[in-house]
Amino acid sequence: MWQFKYVMYVCLGVLGLNMSGVWAQEKNYPARPITFIVAWPPGGSVDTVARLISEPLRVRLGQPVLIVNRGGAVGTIGANAVAKAAPDGYTLLVTIGAYPITAALMSALPFDPIKDLTGISLIVRSPNMLVVRPDFPAKKFE
């Protein structure tokens, strides 16, 4: 339950702080539906977070928030779709925090991750764990 509450607080922060630049550009933003391009397949953690924040955004902004999954190529298919979309604040990328690292490691991308995309907000923090069987000889990771 705490995770959902955390997502809601972050969502409200995104609404209050990060959309101000878009509102300054267009007087009646949003005037049409907003699309979240999720750079991962349906049913995963990134998709779940996008769906959790889409409903509060819909209520707050008075416009539908559409979820479009464009998974594949370690998130670059979805990122490319957003990079090629009009820069009007209606098409947003939802991806994992490792995206900048992935983009830096890939030798050829159909877009420039620095020039074509701009980070808006951290939506959620998700810790990772390394676990082993209890009878595994290693007891700590160094």
Instruction: Note the pLDDT tens digit of each residue in 15-41.
Output: 444 444 444 556 789 999 999 999 999
pLDDT number for residue 25: 55
Rounded average pLDDT over 68-80: 93
Residue that the structure tokens 């990079």 belong to: 83
pLDDT number for residue 26: 63
Taking CB atoms within 8 Å and a gap of at least 24, the contacts of 98-106 are 99/39, 99/75, 102/74, 102/75, 102/76, 103/76, 103/79, 106/74, 106/76
Residues near 138 by beta carbon (within 8 Å), at least 6 away in sequence: 132
Question: Does 67 have pLDDT greater than 80?
Answer: yes
User: pLDDT class for 130, splitting at 50, 70, 90?
Assistant: confident
What is the C-alpha to C-alpha distance for residues 142 and 129, in angstroms, rounded to an integer?
14
Indicate the domain borders of the chain: 2-25+32-105
User: What mean pLDDT is reported for the chain?
Assistant: 82
> pTM for the complete prediction?
0.71
24/54: higher pLDDT? 54
Residue-wise pLDDT tens digits, 98-112: 777 777 788 788 988
Domain range 2-25+32-105, CATH architecture: 3-Layer(aba) Sandwich (3.40)
CA dihedral 116, 126, 9, 81 (to 10 degrees): 20
H or E stretch covering 94: strand 91-94
